[in-house]
Structure 1
Amino acid sequence: MWPVFAEAIAGLARQKLRTWASVARAVATLLQSRSDRPYSHVVADEAQDLSPARLLFLRTLVAPGDDDITLAADIGQRIYRRPFSWFAAGLDIRGRASRLRVSYRSTQQILSLADRVVLPPVSEGQEDLSRDAVAVRAGPKPRLVRCASAAKETEVVADWIRACFDDGIPAAQIAIFARTSTMVERVGAKAARLAGTKWAELKDEREPDGHAVMLGTIHAAKGLEFRAVAVIGCGRDLIPLPSVLTATTSARDTALAEASERQLLYVALTRARDLLLVTWTGEPSSYLEQEWLSEVTAPLAS
């Protein structure tokens, strides 16, 4: 594959263009040649989404020392990057890491369900990814609802939206997420219309509508939180997404894809602060454990 990359790099050079990764590496190379560094301390959040090039860039912003860099990361929310060694990127966290065990967003009931979804990735070197977090708040159990059809799933979600309104939750604090945009449109948008409320799709370039229920894919949910969240389409045919697993060529890649799909579901579930609804048709996702399915809160709709 290297001739392909070499040609792409040469083509960018001819056009005097750079990728963001090459910008990060170029600046890091420049800073490494200097005796002084521009900052005395660096703090970075969401570090699980940083690439090796960007971590190297952060490393070179500040001179190595006892209190040089603080990174906050949740490996369970890594949905954009494959695993790699932070040590190889110049960050030795051995003996310097502290686990933050308290969740201030979701209730203990939501957190317990979400944490059981995530499995440790295939290999993380020195990282210990056991999850034993606790929440500062308690709330109702998440609702797991099995539906006979997409039409019935739409009705269930619409009834849930109305119940949220009855509980005093404003539209802007209600969100519906799905693995695919097709499911967002086929069930999420229809449910909002059936509930008689405005809805808006989450877009990076657009401010959320303060009077509309928010809809989007799980990827769009990253970094957000809402009082009430519905994660729809959690059936075996969508989570994990079959096309993601069949695109791999090795057992390791398949395991990594499985871990990524689990982390996506974890992200979706943990966007909820107070109320969580999980719906599906047909067979449930294999990531929903049998002990939960025994507590499904609605019978198979007819």
Structure 2
Amino acid sequence: MARPVSEAVPSDAAPAAELPAGEVTDADRILAGLDEQQRLAATTLGGPVAILAGAGTGKTRAITHRIAYAVATGEQAEHASLALTFTARAAGEMRTRLARLGAGGVQARTFHAAALAQLSHFWPRITGSRMPALLPQKASTLADAAAQLRLRLPTAQLRDAAGEVEWRKSQAMTIEDYAVQARIRPLPTGIAPEAMIDLHMAYERVKDERRQIDFEDVLLATAGMIEREPVVADEVRSRYRHFTVDEYQDVSPMQQRVLAAWLGDRRDICVVGDPSQTIYSFAGADAASLSRFVHDHPDAEVVRLERSYRSTAAVVGCANRLMRGRDALTLSAASGEAGREPSLGVHANDSAEAAAIAAACRAQVDAGADAGEIAVLIRFHAQSGLIEQALASVGLSSTVRGSQRFFEIPVVKRAVMMLRSAPADDRPVFQAVTDIVMGLGYRAQPPETHGEERAQWDALHALVTLAEEVGGTDLPAFARDLQRRAQTEHEPSVSAVTIATIHAAKGLEWRHVHVCGLAEGLLPISHATTLAEIDEERRLLYVAITRAQRTLSFSWAKGSGHQLRQPSRFLAEIAPPRAGGGRRGASTAGAAGGR
């Protein structure tokens, strides 16, 4: 009896094709709804295969249909196939789609989930003891390690040190390797290279004494076990023979090592991704991963998905202009709908920019859009506060994705409490606020690092900037206003505008997208100084642009408090060409856009 093959058609799906006359097989049904490029991806079986899939081109649809087609035609054994991705949500989506396509026996997991299952299975057999306990988080263990070294590190520095541990392990570095890098790479402010190296060693020692492993150790131990134990290698490789790796551009060196251990000398692997969406270099991702895969496998079949079912031609054209000349995929709008060109708003300061974005969102809702169809994308968390309040002031609820709401950030909570309890005096509000938050570690210049310490500085700087723009000498009134803003932002929301960092927005889409802060120092961010770092910022903007389905707006503020800004270097590149050639100048109009 034929297995049922059905799948709800997502918004980025190609129009359904007619089934061929005569007997209809499961394989026919699986291919029926795919466009020509997706069909080629689904029917290019065996390996090695690289699928270069642009934003909105139906990547997940293509690869789940490819796996299901391979199972339906007998090219892959269902229970010997492993699909790997990076989030539990994405893995769950793949499992759901595969089940609907009749391939529910295929495993779809994150790298860590697959490795942890194998490690839990083999550790007692190989070592004769129970597996060490998995650390839920690193900060407390690092604090104990720091105490042994008589290092006094605040919470922000401990979190940044945890980030350094994660970076070292994602790069598959020994501590000796890291010792070389620690002397040449930026470290959390206040921690000298030698102290950081000692902290890493003490952290590993504390873990060993307590029989604990961390999240990254799971990959390291799994790879080591397969590499050193032939019995384990044989069993793992006989269990999984066909591999699909989604978001391959985000694979770290450590994950690549685990993948190589799983594969052995076999070649049945399909990697999928888009170099233009590599935005996790800080976690070990490398934009060159896909091109390196093709170089290392000169006989690899390469399939390109470039028909966007998400965005209008105007949005797609903007994305293409940003990446022109960088060996990127060239997207085309499958619908053929031109759409309106992205707009640009230029404003006096951050508050004015937030107000203009809120007014644009209000206009879109009044024109019939649901608030949930609208997103405001920001570069870093501390930008959310003004946006949240501006939306509330026009009667729109908001939800912050990928971070805490601004007034829930611990350092902001402490600052507001200190401001509320401060006595009134004749100092300007700006000066009073600055003096108070300096007690929380704020300084005039941002720290050179870009982890938790920088995030706390950005949050406090947002308060200082707001105080500059408010002006006056009434500190108690300013503190009451902050409390009112915090209370407003805690109102329950049913249909809400999404505020998200660009990192948190990856993989999502909205009908209307507003990208704010297109100024030097924000996007690209100030600590991006090398060519590689600027390229990462470019890819971040590309991801932001390609979240938009129908309308897209950009904005920036000329000033932040007393600090003047310059427009982002990327704006000149994304401006649409004039009808008679050249580039159109930036408009100062508001960023409204109807449904």
Task: Give the TM-score normalised by structure 1.
Answer: 0.80
SS in structure 2 at match of 1:200: strand
The yes-or-no answer on 1:285 pairing with 2:486 is no
SS in structure 1 at match of 2:344: strand
Q: CA 1:221 to 1:88, structure 2 compared with 1: closer, same or farther past 3 Å?
A: closer
Pick aligned residue for 2:551 from 258, 275, 285: 275
Q: CA 1:222 to 1:156, structure 2 compared with 1: closer, same or farther past 3 Å?
A: same
| CA distance in 1 between partners of 2:221 and 2:347 (Å) | 53
Question: Where do residues 130-279 of structure 1 align in structure 2 (5 Å cutoff)?
Answer: 130-137=328-335, 138=337, 139-186=339-386, 188-203=387-402, 211-245=495-529, 254-279=530-555
**2:568 is matched by which residue type in structure 1?**
S
- Give the superposition deviation at 1:117: 2.5
| CA distance in 1 between partners of 2:294 and 2:333 (Å) | 33
**2:277 is matched by which residue type in structure 1?**
Q
Deviating above 6 A after TM superposition, structure 1's stretches of 4 or more consecutive aligned residues are: 86-91
Quote the residue 1:123 is aligned against. Answer: none
| CA distance in 2 between partners of 1:112 and 1:90 (Å) | 27
**1:193 is matched by which residue type in structure 2?**
A
The yes-or-no answer on 1:27 pairing with 2:199 is no
Quote the residue 1:61 is aligned against. Answer: 262
The yes-or-no answer on 1:94 pairing with 2:298 is yes
Structure 1 gap segments, 5+ residues each = 121-127, 246-253
| CA distance in 1 between partners of 2:249 and 2:513 (Å) | 24
Task: Give the TM-score normalised by structure 2.
Answer: 0.43
Higher share of residues assigned helix: 2
SS in structure 1 at match of 2:270: strand
**2:538 is matched by which residue type in structure 1?**
R
Offset from partner CA, 1:8-58 (integer Å, 9 cap, x none): 444433333334333213212333432241213222222222211112323
Whether the aligned pair in 2 keeps the contact of 1:46 and 1:73 (CA below 8 Å) is yes
| CA distance in 2 between partners of 1:20 and 1:77 (Å) | 25
**1:182 is matched by which residue type in structure 2?**
A
Q: CA 1:286 to 1:21, structure 2 compared with 1: closer, same or farther past 3 Å?
A: same
Structure 2 gap segments, 5+ residues each = 1-178, 181-193, 406-492, 559-565, 576-582
Q: CA 1:90 to 1:299, structure 2 compared with 1: closer, same or farther past 3 Å?
A: closer
| CA distance in 2 between partners of 1:183 and 1:71 (Å) | 35
- Give the superposition deviation at 1:205: 9.9
Quote the residue 1:124 is aligned against. Answer: none
- Give the superposition deviation at 1:262: 1.0
The yes-or-no answer on 1:77 pairing with 2:281 is no
- Give the superposition deviation at 1:203: 3.6
Aligned-pair identity in percent equals 29
Whether the aligned pair in 2 keeps the contact of 1:56 and 1:90 (CA below 8 Å) is no
- Give the superposition deviation at 1:88: 8.4
SS in structure 2 at match of 1:238: coil
Q: CA 1:210 to 1:270, structure 2 compared with 1: closer, same or farther past 3 Å?
A: farther
Whether the aligned pair in 2 keeps the contact of 1:199 and 1:213 (CA below 8 Å) is yes
| CA distance in 1 between partners of 2:292 and 2:306 (Å) | 27
SS in structure 2 at match of 1:264: helix
271-280 or 107-116, which moves further after superposition?
A: 107-116
Whether the aligned pair in 1 keeps the contact of 2:275 and 2:328 (CA below 8 Å) is no
Q: CA 1:72 to 1:88, structure 2 compared with 1: closer, same or farther past 3 Å?
A: closer
| CA distance in 2 between partners of 1:57 and 1:291 (Å) | 39
Quote the residue 2:243 is aligned against. Answer: 42
Offset from partner CA, 1:83-117 (integer Å, 9 cap, x none): 36579899934342322222222222112212333
| CA distance in 2 between partners of 1:49 and 1:93 (Å) | 19
SS in structure 1 at match of 2:273: coil
The yes-or-no answer on 1:110 pairing with 2:342 is no
How many pairs does the alignment contain?
Answer: 283
Q: CA 1:95 to 1:112, structure 2 compared with 1: closer, same or farther past 3 Å?
A: farther
